[in-house]
Amino acid sequence: MASLSQFSFSHLLVFILLAFFCFSNLCFCFKPKHFNLSTQAVHWSSAGATWYGSPDGAGSDGGACGYGNIVSQAPFSSLVTGIGPSLYNSGKECGACYKIKCTKHPMCSGKPVRVVITDFCPGGPCTSESAHFDLSGTAFGSMAIQGEENKLRDAGVLQIRYARVVCDYSGKTIMFHVDPGSNHEYFAVEVEFEEGDGDLARVDLLQASSEPDEWWEMNQSWGAVWQLNAGTELHPPFSIRLTSHYSGQTLVAKNVIPIGWQPGATYRSLINYL
């Protein structure tokens, strides 16, 4: 029979070997797919900033992400931005939220403002700088001391600070806007108002006639629009499964697209990431 000291030493040795294995093989012992934005400290970086459109407007009417005229409505409320290629990421960052602030101009308030990526800025300073925000007139002016918005907009290009943050739409649930070109074999949908870690890495569709686990993977068409070209008739209602880019969390909007759905219509789910 082993002595107590032999027993303790053998267990200690096993513990040390396991600890070494975990340390040298983190992917085995701990497998976070992505960081969870809601638990990360805010990290500020430097960028350039300009503005476009009308001084009190929403930039363009929807822009490259495909949000249409909702950019001027709550919860976006014209606090939106076009973004250079480095952050636009071929449209994968449409709907991502950032805090911005300016401090180097006399008209800057220094207070952070949350903006949403809704457009793409393809040239000029947007490509020459490592990061550039082409803000709506409203968003640009929101960085100013109260009452000095026009003077700040007259500054031209500003140097600002920015930080990636979670989106917060005050409890609004995710909505699905069906692309006007959708039909019984081709279905495309714009995903709107993902909160928290809701940058999407994957979107899947389940039709009524499928087995419970027979999800069809959708492709990102452009901006915030995801599409499925089934090549055969699809049978509603459709459930849509969303997978977060950052946390890997999945949500299912069950039967969110009803029987009798219409191209161009918007359907509200009961889910969100916060």
Please give the C-alpha separations between residue 106 and each of 81, 140, 149, 155, in angstroms, as whole numbers. 23, 14, 11, 10
* Reported confidence tier of residue 41, pLDDT bands at 50, 70, 90: low
The tokens 């499964």 sit on which residue?
241
CB atoms within 10 A of CB 32: 11
Closest CA to 167 of 191, 202, 185: 191
- In whole angstroms, give the CA distance from residue 229 to residue 189: 12
CB atoms within 10 A of CB 225: 21
Task: Fill in the amino acid letter for 128.
Answer: S
| Per-residue pLDDT at 121 exceeds 60 | yes
| Per-residue pLDDT at 37 exceeds 80 | no
CATH of 37-165, one of 1.20.210.10, 3.40.50.300, 3.40.50.1400, 2.40.40.10: 2.40.40.10
Give the up-direction half-sphere exposure of residue 59: CA atoms within 13 A in the CB hemisphere.
Answer: 31
Please give the C-alpha separations between residue 58 and each of 63, 74, 117, 175, 186, in angstroms, as whole numbers. 10, 12, 12, 20, 31
Share of the chain above pLDDT 90, in %: 64
CATH topology of domain 175-268: Immunoglobulin-like (2.60.40)
Do the first three CATH levels of 37-165 and 175-268 match, i.e. the same topology?
no
Please give the C-alpha separations between residue 46 and each of 101, 116, 161, 240, in angstroms, as whole numbers. 10, 17, 5, 37
Instruction: Give the pLDDT confidence score for residue 178 in this predicted structure.
Output: 97
Instruction: Give the pLDDT confidence score for residue 21 in this predicted structure.
Output: 38
Domain boundaries, the chain: 37-165, 175-268
* Reported confidence tier of residue 28, pLDDT bands at 50, 70, 90: very low
* Reported confidence tier of residue 268, pLDDT bands at 50, 70, 90: very high
Instruction: Give the pLDDT confidence score for residue 5 in this predicted structure.
Output: 45
Q: What tens digit of pLDDT does each residue of 48-90 get?
A: 999 999 999 998 766 899 898 899 999 999 999 999 998 998 8
For 26, the token pair is 């983190």
Instruction: Give the pLDDT confidence score for residue 35 in this predicted structure.
Output: 47
